[in-house]
Amino acid sequence: MAGRARLDDAPERLVQAAIGLLAEQGPSAVKARTVASASGLSTMVVYSHFGGIPELMRAVADHGFKELSAAFARVPVTEDPIADLFALALTCRRVARENPHLYDLMFGLSTRATYRPLSDADLRFSGHSPAFREAHALVTAACERLVDSGRVERQEPEVIAAQLWSLVHGYITLELAEHFVEFEDAVVEVMLPMGVNFSVGLGDERERAEASHEVGARLYESIAHDR
């Protein structure tokens, strides 16, 4: 029975082992034998459960999106949708900084072979992934609340979500690549005013947008403090 229990949780153990290797050593460390060794399982178990490293990495990316969804779900829904959105943006940044290599994998930012998606579009871990769609749906719901609030011009929440997703992940990608080292606090000097400008572009009043982003920063800090 003990042996069966060990095999029943093998997929999760393999995924967690791969995540650990990514965090500690980067993508070049993720190989069938290293994942097997880190999980205490045999190399054959990697292939029997996932078929190979590309399929395992797809499962790792999906796990990352599930963790991102869980982090988003911990952000309270308040009466200020712009504050909520900025708190979500800061949450996404934190998740990315905790394991940058996993973030790269999730969003297809690496050119390393172990990150390349499978050729079959139905198996890719990009926007087709249900795990990604779940995380993205929480952002879209916040954008829908923003539109319903009347603070911005009426437009499709899905479009706003896509624009905001692009803006936030562009910032995160550049920050992780250390393009903002000249700033003492890039969040305050770059990310926050960028969010304000985005909100104003959607139709919000600048002073109100600035106040909401300050509220969102405090909301995020309260959540991060309680973790």
pLDDT in tens, 172-221: 999 998 999 999 999 999 999 999 999 999 999 999 999 999 999 999 99
Q: Which two tokens stand for residue 93?
A: 């940044």
For residue 118, pLDDT over 60 is answered with: no
Packing angle, helices 130-149 and 81-98, rounded to 10:
150
Percent of the chain with pLDDT over 70: 88
Tell me what pLDDT residue 218 has. Answer: 96
Range ranked top by mean pLDDT from 55-64, 102-111, 120-129, 194-203: 194-203
- Model confidence at 225, pLDDT cuts 50, 70, 90, reads confident
CB atoms within 10 A of CB 154: 9
Q: pLDDT confidence of 5, banded at 50, 70, 90?
A: very low
Flag the least confident range among 47-56, 90-99, 112-121, 183-192: 112-121
